[in-house]
Structure 1
Amino acid sequence: MKLPILLFFCCIFFLNSMASEKRYLAVKDTTSTITKDTTNTDSMMIYWTEKNTFGVNLSEVAFVNWNSGGNNSVSALFYANFQRNFERDLTMWRNTASLRYGINAQEGREIRKTEDELRLNSSFGFRTDSTSNWYYSGKFSFNSQFSNGYKYPDTEVAISRFMAPGYTFLGVGTEFSHPEEDLTIYLSPITFKSTFVLDQRLANEGMFGVEAAVTDELGNILREGENVRTEFGFLVTSDFRKEVYENIDLSNQLSLYSDYLNKFGNIDVDWQLTVNMQVNDFVKANIGSHIRYDDDVKFKEDTNGDGKLETSGPRIQLKQMLGVGVVYEF
């Protein structure tokens, strides 16, 4: 747990030190005997915008002499989002970080993790003239998790860990940014996807698409499994946000990726749809869904009742979210 926690605070420190809000720098000649040229004043302007969001969603159920039965429980979801955006002349640089961690404590059982996400995104682009909405762009993204994941109630054997898996995308392409709507579409025909499985046991099992270990007839490992898998493919992403009604915002984020060299046309999907409802400056409610599909992600389950988990094929992953909580933005 020490490494994920350290990374969490390093991310916050890095993003907060990147920029101050709306800075303006100008070079000015103080010598009165020299004629000053002010035609390049605008070119010296550096414009940063920033947004920080911290929030917690809580839910609690308690029973006293409740004849219908039930267990006392408390759930909490902690999250933070950071944005650092830079625009100057024909150049833009956008950076975001999303951190989420949820837990559930129920009477009579151990604390369980309900959500775990670490996601960083950075894109840099430039356009040829000020009237164009298309940018030549490069994009980098990283996502993983903070702590171990388990197939509950089994908490002895982890099915995922920090950087097991971890994903990075790095590519170049073109990005459309709508001048009025909060809409961006990114197309990249050259994108490298790297999958990291830094837990050797999971790597030996061939989890998350890496090459599994080579064993003999007795199960002895002859060659350890690979810790990294690299793919080369086509990436399409879109991000759309709109106020559909007063104090009700819609957010739609979609990512589609297909590898050129391995089953081209088999698409990895990552789709998030969220509706945010603002009660006041500090209280917000949200409802949303998150759908994932990755052909390389295999699932473990006990299919024959022997108490051991067998590896099965890929499946559609679905998460539904509903929460009300306190949010602080600055």
Structure 2
Amino acid sequence: MKPQFLLIFLCLFFTKTQANNLYEYKFSKALADTTTTDSTKTENDSTQTDDLLIYWTEKNSVGINLSEVAFVNWNAGGNNSVSALFFSNFQRNFEKDLTMWKNSATLRYGINAQEGREIRKTEDEIRVNSSFGFRKDSTSNWFYSGKFSFNTQFTNGYKYPDTRVPISKFMAPGYTFLGAGTEFSHPEEELTVYLSPITLKSTFVLDQRLANEGMFGVEPAVTDELGNILEDGQNVRTEFGFLVTSGFSKEVFDNIDLDNQLSLYSDYLNKFGNVDVDWQLNVNMKVNEFVKANVGTHIRYDDDVKFKEDSNGDGKLETSGPRIQLKQMLGVGLVYDF
């Protein structure tokens, strides 16, 4: 091979090799930059997701309380019975800087089956609460707050043993509260106090028969002397008043928690000073991770809630005035928190 041809061949080979090396370097650098960018983006997305999760907290629990009594040749006598209470609670809370948003939903339904009689309802509740608030600085425990709540029941209620005519139904009654005010939230203790001078309370009675009877405070139907309905009763009653609520939770002993919830409402336009009371006091005892016991009381008083009873023994229910409502609970069951 001539020297000039050998020189040209070596120059071309060297140029091609350098071009390949340069291409590989640029490709590797671009790939590294892309990987770094994707990694940085992934880390940023992960950080943003983690921050969002920090702002939002959630708590879920579902459970069932059971009790059973069975007799076989029992000299003292008694009826076999089984009781069950199904319950669940869901919470979604958001807190960032000076803003707070709390949401909760509670569902409860209880039944009792006793030998020789029909299944009876022992508890029935649907309750939803939401409150939004903000404060002027991070050192203040007072929030400017708005609150919404709703509660009703799942199924018909009866004055047992009469199961022919319901005395309450789903959304008969149903209650909503919507108002604005101020809320105190203790930074360490689980204590909240809410004061609302402007609260709108709506009572829904969507069953027309109960509405015609004027149950739960709605305007009853207009009738003639023979009892014929001239104008149907109203399905909604609206009130405007003052609302005070308080919530307190504390572990009083190891694995024993005390929970107190109080609500007081008075209407400005109708008998102001006549207070509607809703007070729940519960003691929750933890046996282990899944088994828990509960003892509690629930007291209600609402001047608009009338009661039906057979006062003269003729087999018909007559409407009587308001009364204090009291419910006592004792249960042991399984609870799953997640």
What TM-score do the two structures reach when normalised by structure 2?
0.85
Aligned counterpart for 2:158 among listed residues 126, 139, 150: 150
Q: Does 1:184 align with 2:173?
A: no
Aligned counterpart for 2:307 among listed residues 289, 299, 309: 299
Q: Does 1:265 align with 2:265?
A: no
After TM superposition, list the pairs within 5 Å mapping 1:96-175 onto structure 2.
96-175=104-183
8 A contact 1:273–1:288 mirrored in 2: yes
Aligned counterpart for 1:64 among listed residues 72, 79, 84: 72
Q: How big is the shift at 1:88?
A: 1.0
8 A contact 1:166–1:195 mirrored in 2: yes
After TM superposition, list the pairs within 5 Å mapping 1:225-264 onto structure 2.
225-264=233-272
Q: How big is the shift at 1:89?
A: 1.0
Q: How big is the shift at 1:163?
A: 0.1
Output the CA distance in 2 between the equivalents of 1:191 and 1:102.
Answer: 31
SS at match of 1:54: strand
Output the CA distance in 1 between the equivalents of 2:144 and 2:76.
Answer: 62
- 1:86-137 CA distance string (max 9 Å, x none): 0111101000000000000001110000000000000000001000000000
Matched with 2:319 is 311
Bigger Cα Rg: 2
Q: Does 1:219 align with 2:236?
A: no
Output the CA distance in 2 between the equivalents of 1:203 and 1:245.
Answer: 48
Output the CA distance in 2 between the equivalents of 1:263 and 1:319.
Answer: 26
Matched with 1:53 is 61
One-letter code aligned to 2:244: V
Q: How big is the shift at 1:45?
A: 4.1
One-letter code aligned to 1:125: G
8 A contact 1:82–1:97 mirrored in 2: yes
Output the CA distance in 2 between the equivalents of 1:154 and 1:305.
Answer: 13
Output the CA distance in 2 between the equivalents of 1:58 and 1:45.
Answer: 41
Note the aligned Cα RMSD (angstroms): 1.6
Output the CA distance in 2 between the equivalents of 1:85 and 1:309.
Answer: 45
8 A contact 1:235–1:257 mirrored in 2: yes
- 1:265-284 CA distance string (max 9 Å, x none): 00000000000000000000
Matched with 1:76 is 84
**Runs ≥4 in structure 1, deviation > 6 angstroms?**
none
- 1:144-165 CA distance string (max 9 Å, x none): 0000000000000000000000
Q: Does 1:204 align with 2:226?
A: no
Output the CA distance in 2 between the equivalents of 1:241 and 1:67.
Answer: 45
One-letter code aligned to 1:55: G
SS at match of 1:78: strand
